[in-house]
Amino acid sequence: MKQLLLSLLTFFLYIGCTENRVASKLGNTHPDIFPDYKGISIPINIAPLNFTVRNSSHIKAVFSNNNQPLFSIEGKNKIDIPLKKWQHMLSDNTGKQIDISISVWNESYPEGIQYKSFPVYITTDSIDPYIAYRLIEPGYESWHEMDIRQRALNCFKEDIIISSNMNEKGCVNCHSFCNYSPTEFMFHARTSPGGTIIIKNNQPTKVQLSQLGSSKEGTYPHWHPSGKYIIFSTNTTRQSFYSRNPNLIEVYDLESDLVLYDLVHNTVITDPRFNGPASFETFPAWAPDGKRLYYCTAPARQLPKRLKEIKYSICSVSFNPDNGSFGETIDTIYTAHNKSASFPRISPDNQYLLFTESDYATFPIWHKEADLKMISLQGSAPVDTDILNSTDVESYHSWSSNGRWIIFSSRRLDGLYTRFFIAHLNKNGKFSKPFLLPQKDPDENNLRMKSFNIPEFIKDKITITRSQLDHTVTD
């Protein structure tokens, strides 16, 4: 018994000492942490920013405000912040700067080194509580293994909405939400007896667009804010593969048009200006008030022979939601010149147009030069987005419902897998440094061999069951 008590006493003394270590050396540089959270702006309701320091045997992180310590966390080579402690800190320091001081013990510094502290800014802006996205293999051949999932942004909980396993290994893709609603959304199920699955008032139905007059299936969708319409592009897509090109895969459209699905009357409306062989139309997006449609368009070329000549501009046209008709005048918002635009998305306040710009064609996820660009809709002046971009791919992006945050996909970590980054836009139209979507285990960002794709914000949790969706898909 005495030996047991002595062992326990020794253990607790060791724990007490290790949890209150003080580094013997002061460094004059910032620590090399992963993910890089130095100098970022965060929402008031984001999950803990857990991080790791490579090749460390012990880490200590002290969180403070105005030189007053708030709390400290220690770990072997990772900092795992308790959720409640983190949430209290965010609540108590809204609109303030916190400073994080990192001390590290390793072979180079067995007595420890305390690095320069770095700031994190807690904004007064919240972010939508959930995102929906597709989780998929990064290549082209594994479309039969994919999920559409949702993730809570204030913690780390993740749920499957629909899986290809529920669709006879068929592709499930192109999800779209009506006004960020978890009870009104849609996706495609790409196998027999699949179709376009539309959830309205949390009740799913299946639609075969090709049987409603257009003879075409929908591809890229965008739900009208009135809830009455969904605009689709109809794309005949092909792929080419390269061995000596840094862009290993090229995806392009042999043809693409726009069709409008009327949910009220279960009909498809077409306009000859957006249907025909002379030009390609794709990536439609509504203005927040529903009065204009934006889309990408390019003159048709012989493909794939003249692929690098395909340069998409962004155009817009007025829309009358009362009768589903488009206006006569088509305006060019962004002229392609020597670049090509994809994924136009309008900010909720109708002030900005955010899009992806690449050298050519319509599938920027395979273009290492692809960057995010933005223009003001009050005069078309460009807005500085340099802080968002990297030397690798930046691609699909979405606005939060309050217009203060964007989430986008990027391959900047390794050039292979797309992952999600979040950035703040202040009231003066200036972006902050983007940060990697927090994970419970920061190493999951490297160890999870899946690509995160098509992030969309939603205002609440999706509650429709997988069995309901499974029944609708297979019926």
**Domain spans in the chain, listed from the N-terminal domain onward:** 24-122, 130-474
In angstroms, the Cα distances linking 244 to 6, 241, 249 are 67, 10, 11
pLDDT tens per residue across span 157-212: 999 999 876 655 567 878 999 999 999 999 988 776 778 999 999 999 999 988 88
Partners of 410 in beta bridges: 394, 419
pTM of the entire structure? 0.93
Q: In this structure, are residues 5 and 11 in contact, taking their beta carbons and an 8 Å threshold?
A: no
pLDDT tens per residue across span 66-87: 999 999 999 999 999 999 999 9
Residue 140 has pLDDT above 70, yes or no: no
Q: What is the CA radius of gyration of the chain?
A: 25
pLDDT value at residue 369: 95
Please, what is the average pLDDT of the chain?
91
Residue that has been written with the tokens 């807005």 in this structure:
383
Residue among 400, 389, 401, 393 at smallest CA distance from 434: 389
Residue 247 has pLDDT above 80, yes or no: no
Segment 383-407 mean pLDDT:
98
pLDDT value at residue 14: 37
Of 153-167, 185-199, 302-316, 346-360, the range with the highest mean pLDDT is 346-360
Read off the pLDDT band of 146 (50, 70, 90).
confident
SS3 of the chain: the string is CHHHHHHHHHHHHHHHHHCCCCCCEECCCCCCCECCCCCCEECCCCCCCCEECCCCCEEEEEEEECCEEEEEEEECCEECCCHHHHHHHHHHCCCCEEEEEEEEECCCCCCCEECCCEEEEECCCCCCCEEEEEEECCCCCCCCCEEEEEEECCCCCEEEEEEHHHHCCCEEEEEEECCCCCCCEEEEEECCCCEEEEEECCEEEEECHHHCCCCCCCCCEEECCCCCEEEEEEEEEEEEECCCCCCCEEEEEEEEEEEEEECCCCEEECCHHHCCCCEEEEEEEECCCCCEEEEEEEECCCCCCCHHHCCCEEEEEEEECCCCEEEEEEEEEECCCCCEEEEEEECCCCCEEEEEEECCCCCHHHCCCCEEEEEECCCCCEECCHHHCCCCCEEEEEECCCCCEEEEEECCCCCCCCEEEEEEECCCCCECCCEECCCCCCCHHHHCCCEEEEEEEECCCCCCCHHHHHHHHHC
Largest Cα span, the chain: 92
Tell me how far apart the alpha carbons of residues 232 and 144 are, in angstroms, rounded to a whole number: 23
pLDDT value at residue 241: 57
Burial of 27: CB neighbours in 10 Å, binned 0-12, 13-18, 19+ = middle
What b/e string do you get for 379-409 counting C-beta neighbours within 10 Å, with b at 16 or more? eeeebebeebbeebbbbbbbbbbebbbbbbb
| Fold classification of 130-474 (topology level) | Neuraminidase (2.120.10)
pLDDT value at residue 198: 96
pLDDT value at residue 18: 44
pLDDT tens per residue across span 450-474: 899 999 999 999 999 999 998 898 8
How many degrees, rounded to 5, is the angle at CA 319 between CA 315 and CA 321? 150
Tell me how far apart the alpha carbons of residues 9 and 12 are, in angstroms, rounded to a whole number: 5
Segment 376-382 mean pLDDT:
91
Segment 313-325 mean pLDDT:
98
pLDDT tens per residue across span 425-441: 999 999 999 999 999 99
pLDDT value at residue 375: 97
Q: When comparing pLDDT for 116 and 336, which is higher?
A: 116
pLDDT value at residue 300: 93
pLDDT value at residue 2: 46
Does domain 24-122 match CATH 3.40.50.2300?
A: no
**Range with lowest mean pLDDT among 4-13, 49-58, 445-454:** 4-13
Tell me how far apart the alpha carbons of residues 394 and 469 are, in angstroms, rounded to a whole number: 32
pLDDT value at residue 5: 45
In the chain, the percentage of residues whose pLDDT exceeds 70 is 91
> CA torsion 242→246→251→253, rounded to 10°?
-100
